[in-house]
Amino acid sequence: MEPLATLFERPLHPAAGVLPEPLRKLYGGHLAFPQSPGRPYVVANFVSTLDGVVSYDIAGSSGGGHVSGFNPQDAFVIGLLRACADAVMVGAGTLHGDPGHVRTASFIFPEAQRRYAELRQALGKTTLHPLNVIISGSGRVDLAEPTFHTPGLKTLIVTSRAGRAHLEATHGAALATTRVATAGDGPALAPEVILTLLYRELGVRLLVHEGGPTLLGPFLAEGLIDELFLTIAPWVAGRSTDTRRPGLVEGVTFSPEAAPGLELVSAKQAGDHLLLRYRAQLLAQTMGRAAPADAVRVDHGRTTGTVTCDGNLAAR
């Protein structure tokens, strides 16, 4: 794989030099993340076409790899983020839309498997892989997915009370080997409740959010996305009235006054692909004025409540 070419980089966090030299050369610099007091630091990671499509939404071709054209540099950066993370989170729709995909660094870019393991060790991680967190308010999760059967990979399903009942009714005894956390009545699960669970009960400090768009929306609306890594693939997917092609954010709309602002941190190039890193800005910094109370609209109801954890949830 050819190293990434760094076109622009803004100093963001002190470079601690944690990346092993081979990874640093491939990435084109250092990579570091701060901690967020009281909750995990949340880094979203997506790939998009030039016209903003993040999934072709075609059976067998819905994953991000099809959007990126299976670009090796994009896969390498995904692996790098997973290697840095305490947990990787996806919605059940994303899990099922890309069947067989296991969200570990070594799965997405096996060529750097040993280097990723060295990085996790240097970062003080005590597990080979980050915890895989599946979000499903309904509890409709296919436990036959390889995610739940990969040696050394810990998994957690976060669902509602009704979702847990559905899981128990559907999977019975098979559920005994799968950890489940109940976070409210559902069907929508409040982002802050999810983050509280991961932070307090599992010790998650760095969370990589891999979508999908419907799961990203509420986190963005609540101001709970700290950074966005966005790869722009050099082609156009198109949309039509009868072809659903989701964009980066679904289920949430913002007024001009409330549109979340992002600060460009770095721009890297891999052929005709651009790999961008953004840091979230506070609304006041972005717009310089207060937003009206109805400036953000979410399609589903917001669920709050206590968190119930089932089983041994020690993540690290």
Domain assignment of residue 9, yes or no: no
Find the angle CA(82)-CA(87)-CA(90) to the nearest 5 degrees: 90
Which residue is it, tokens 């019975």? 172
The SS3 call for residue 226 is coil
Tens-digit pLDDT profile for residues 70-91? 999 999 999 999 999 999 999 9
Mean pLDDT across the chain:
88
Q: How far apart are CA 213 and CA 31, in angstroms?
A: 25
Least confident of 32-36, 233-237, 300-304: 300-304
CATH number at residue 188: 3.40.430.10
**Residue 5, in any domain of the structure:** no
**301 in any annotated domain:** yes
The residue written with tokens 């919605």 in the block is 91
Q: Residue 176 is part of which domain span?
A: 44-237+245-283+296-310
pLDDT cut 90: percent of the chain above it: 78
Q: Which two tokens stand for residue 34?
A: 């701060």
- Is 315 part of a structural domain of the chain? no
pLDDT digits (tens, 9 = 90+) for 242-285: 888 999 999 999 999 989 999 999 999 999 999 999 999 754 34
Note whether residue 30 is domain-resident. Answer: no
Q: What are the tens digits of pLDDT across the range 193-211?
A: 999 999 999 999 999 999 9
Span 7-48, pLDDT tens digits:
999 876 655 557 899 999 999 999 999 989 999 999 999 999
* Residue 37 belongs to some domain of the structure: no
Cα 160 to the chain's mean position, in Å?
20
Asked whether residue 25 is domain-assigned, the answer is: no
Domain membership of residue 134 (yes or no) is yes
Query: Domains in the chain: how many in total?
Result: 1
Q: In the numeric block, which tokens belong to residue 159?
A: 């669902």
Pull the structure tokens for residue 42: 């949340």
Q: Calculate the CA dihedral of residues 134, 137, 141, 143 and round it to 10 degrees.
A: 60
Q: Which residues face 304 on adjacent strands?
A: none
Integer Cα distance of 141 and 167 in angstroms: 8
Say if residues 279 and 167 touch (Cβ distance below 8 Å). no
